[in-house]
Chain A
């Protein structure tokens, strides 16, 4: 249900998103931000599930029920990051400014000719994080998209910056990821998200803001199979200073390249655990940047109001999906499967 809400929000309609984009670029950021107020107020009132999801988050974060004002400011931050995407992708004069932290560790990998995996979250602005591509001349960045979510947004992204079409990896066949490994071998950066789960997907449990939450197994397995160093990254919205919008682009090392089996299982367990810890750290640093507007601690299957067929990590429906790794986390590499 919550997921459906988010998909709905992210999709919107072609017309309204395109109009919004055109208006935003024509009006400029200052005027567009004024218009964000009523738009956000509408979404704030209309999405009871979104508000309920955020209440769970703030309850976990500081142990008490958040005020309505705090929830509204949270919605407003989300709306502002969406607006900033337009300026960022169009390389508009109102594009936000960045403070960059921790990129030296990524650079030292790249200097050795080694690519790296950037494991992000629905925390801060993913589009702003794509700005990593501009941090070093000639740096190549590709993004692996989880499912069909954000299709319309992606179309707009492509319209604004045609070269980004190339940068989104489509997982459309058995050999699709071979190209991703070759790309990493040539010193490219791969970005993907590690926090949001879909129904039927294998998950692992990890401590997050004081309780056990379930994170998707796919990104962790993928990072292991790619055998490249993994960094956490996020672009936190830090509000305007003297009229200039500011983002903090953060990179933090998670794990070195994965070993072969059987040591790989322990490597995945550690990656999952560290990812959740670092995610928590940045949630505490910039609470209103959390953009999972649903009860994050509820299992994805319980969240689904209408159970659908399972999805494999490529986001396609599959006949025989992996059973969730209940209770064993990533320590147990794989559940039972195969011909029975």
Chain B
């Protein structure tokens, strides 16, 4: 079932599935596949829901003026990596 996800990536995948009401299994999301448009087929509205869920669960605010946005939202792996790094920075 696990498609090469780390434990934390799995946690984020669960968050995506519950906050977006996705019908796909969290464990089946390819961590390297693009989240936006191709791949998981999410759009900018979904990205907004994801950002909200992340701020509610991890207290991390994703901002529109963040130069890393294109990287952060690239894939599940990139998203989990960015959240992990920011959690360490803020000590949460």
Within 8 A of A (CB), among B17-45: 18-24, 28-30, 33, 35-41, 43-45
- Tell me if A179 counts as interface (CB < 8 A to partner B): yes
Interface size classification for chain B: 35 or more
Whether B40 lies near A338 (C-beta < 8 A) is: yes
Residue B47, interface by CB 8 Å: yes
**Known interface pairs A338-B40, A339-B29; A175-B19 also in contact (CB < 8 Å):** no
Q: Is the CB of A312 within 8 A of B29?
A: no
Tell whether A175 pairs with B20 under 8 Å between CB atoms, given A225-B48, A339-B28. Answer: no
Contacts between chains A and B (CB distance < 8 A), count: 107
Evaluate contact between A177 and B48: CB separation under 8 angstroms: yes
Q: Is A56 an interface residue (CB 8 A)?
A: no
**Which residues of A are found within 8 Å of B18, using beta-carbon distances?**
261
Q: Across the interface, which residues of B come within 8 angstroms of A182, CB to CB?
A: 63-64
Q: Are A338 and B44 in contact (CB under 8 A)?
A: no
A207 at the interface (CB under 8 A from B): no
Is A178's CB within 8 Å of the partner chain B?
yes
Task: Assess whether B45 is in contact with A181, with CB atoms less than 8 Å apart.
Answer: no
A221: chain B residues within 8 A (beta carbon): 45
Tell whether, in the assembled complex, residue A174 and residue B70 are in contact, meaning their CB atoms are under 8 Å apart: yes
- Nearest CB in chain A: distance from B74 CB, A: 8
In contact, B37 and A319 (Cβ under 8 angstroms) = yes
> What is the CA–CA distance of A135 and B63 in the complex, to the nearest angstrom?
29
Q: Is A143 an interface residue (CB 8 A)?
A: no
Residue ranges of A at the interface with B (Cβ–Cβ < 8 Å): 171, 173-182, 218, 221-222, 225-227, 260-262, 265, 312-314, 316, 318-322, 333-339
